[in-house]
Structure 1
Amino acid sequence: MALMVEVSALWATLRDWCRINAPATLAALHPPASDAELEAAQLRTGLMWPQSLVASLREHDGAEVWSGDVLLAFTPMGAAEIAEMWFEFTAFPWGGTEDPHAGLAGEVPSHPFSSGWLPVAQMEGAFYLLDLRPGPLHGCVLYWTSDGDGMSEEPLVSSYEELVRVSVLGITDGLKGPEGMIASVVEGRVQWNWPEAFGAVTAEEQAVLDSRYR
């Protein structure tokens, strides 16, 4: 219950901040998912979804791509979309002989997609996955690309709750995310950049950051 309350509070903080600073992003957040939608999506995957994810979907059932890229540059997915993408990825004939259920949470399997992974956010064919396989790192967030060429060797963050927390505090308080990610606001929408990994932010974005966090 505490996790659900904290996630709901984080979304409320983000909405309040966006109402003043990023109205385009606020408008991009979808309405809540219904109990029926959440139940149907979870039944389709056969996985026990973390309470923090369910709480998040009860705040916003995903968001519009681009303006709603609030989860460390990725767009949060809605309940039905999560279930649909999970079904597509698990049904796809990837090939290989490894049991797609095999392995512990946080491990990189040789099989391209594990049925214990739940896609929760996306960006142009890349996804953040909740690793719901058993093990000490159960519930951690991984980076994965649907072409099978990209996979994080270690978790991005420890849980979905942590993904929301790091994202919201990065947007509202200017805290850096993984790999030095920095959030700014451009034309009323939240935008993330990787200045340390992929070069400096633009002059316009730096001016926004300077005005917000100096």
Structure 2
Amino acid sequence: MGTVDASVVDSWRGITSWLEIHAPVTFAALAPPASDEDLRAMRDDVGKNLPDDLITWWRLCNGTGLADGNGMLLPPFFEPCSLHDVLAKRSIRVGSGAPTAIHNATAATAGSPAGAFLASFVPIAADGGGDLLFVDLRPGPRHGCVQHWSGEDGTDGGPWWTGVADMLADVAGALHTGSEARRRYVETREQHVQASTNQAAVDDGRLVWTSTPRDHPLLGR
């Protein structure tokens, strides 16, 4: 199923090697790879092909064992979901009890705002409070991008990353160089959207992300 994305493999190797040395609690929270059965179940649930970079990541790591804060791998505060958890979250949001989401499954194009959680959205990480990161499988040039879903506001700030490969490369770079993660998103977001870049830190063996609010560059502040 799918073609291996070499860039994902390289980024993941960089991420895990850093975690093993600097944040062993977070490293230990990462689950083993997803099985072929899990991946087939996900493909059947979504009803369309999944991006190669997403499949490659899940073949390397099936989320975290527990959503307890130890596996806060993705900035600013998200833990990767297991495929079992992804299916459960989709069942709640786009199952038979969510006809609005089913009706709007192909509304607009990938990366555009959405007030309802659509059937073309695949959760990949959660903060434990209702917010998610998801891969947007709607058609269009930004197909496969990673967006933020707010439990209160939906999604309207534009993609955080162009895809899972871009997301993992951003995280790996932030870990190894001390650079700010999500900086490109902050620099290209809509003017009305507030956002912060994030830098990696370690707290008692756990990876944490510190936030630095950034003004939109076009506002001149």
Same fold (TM over 0.5): yes
Is there any run of 5+ residues in structure 2 with no aligned partner, and where? 183-195, 215-221
Distance across 1 between alignment mates of 2:13 and 2:141: 30
Alpha carbons of structure 1 residues 96 and 129: separation in structure 2 relative to 1, 3 Å: closer
Is there any run of 5+ residues in structure 1 with no aligned partner, and where? 198-214
Which runs of structure 1 show a deviation greater than 6 angstroms over 4 or more consecutive aligned residues? Answer: none
State the identity as a percent. 27
Q: Where does residue 136 of structure 1 map in the other structure?
A: 141
Distance across 1 between alignment mates of 2:36 and 2:111: 30
Q: Which amino acid aligns with 2:133?
A: Y
Distance across 1 between alignment mates of 2:148 and 2:63: 18
> C-alpha offsets along residues 148-185 of structure 1, whole Å, 9 cap, x if unaligned?
x2423211111111111111221222110123211101
Distance across 2 between alignment mates of 1:44 and 1:95: 17
Distance across 2 between alignment mates of 1:127 and 1:80: 15
Say whether the 8 Å CA contact 1:45–1:87 is kept in structure 2. Answer: no
Shift of 1:26: 0.7
Q: Which SS does the other structure have where 1:176 is aligned? A: coil
Query: How many residues of Structure 1 are paired with residues of Structure 2 in the alignment?
Result: 195
Q: Where does residue 70 of structure 1 map in the other structure?
A: 73
Instruction: Note the 1:79-158 alignment, pairs <5 A.
Output: 79-91=83-95, 92-93=97-98, 99-110=104-115, 112-123=116-127, 124-147=129-152, 149-158=153-162
Say whether the 8 Å CA contact 2:94–2:119 is kept in structure 1. Answer: yes
Shift of 1:71: 1.5
What's the TM-score, normalizing by structure 2? 0.80
Q: Where does residue 172 of structure 1 map in the other structure?
A: 176
Alpha carbons of structure 1 residues 34 and 191: separation in structure 2 relative to 1, 3 Å: same
Q: Where does residue 21 of structure 1 map in the other structure?
A: 22
Instruction: Note the 1:22-61 alignment, pairs <5 A.
Output: 22-61=23-62
Shift of 1:94: 6.8
What's the TM-score, normalizing by structure 1? 0.83
CA RMSD of aligned residues (A): 2.2
Q: Where does residue 211 of structure 1 map in the other structure?
A: none
Q: Which deviates the most, 45-54 or 129-138?
A: 45-54
Distance across 2 between alignment mates of 1:150 and 1:162: 22
Q: Which amino acid aligns with 1:193?
A: T
Alpha carbons of structure 1 residues 173 and 42: separation in structure 2 relative to 1, 3 Å: same
Distance across 2 between alignment mates of 1:117 and 1:183: 27
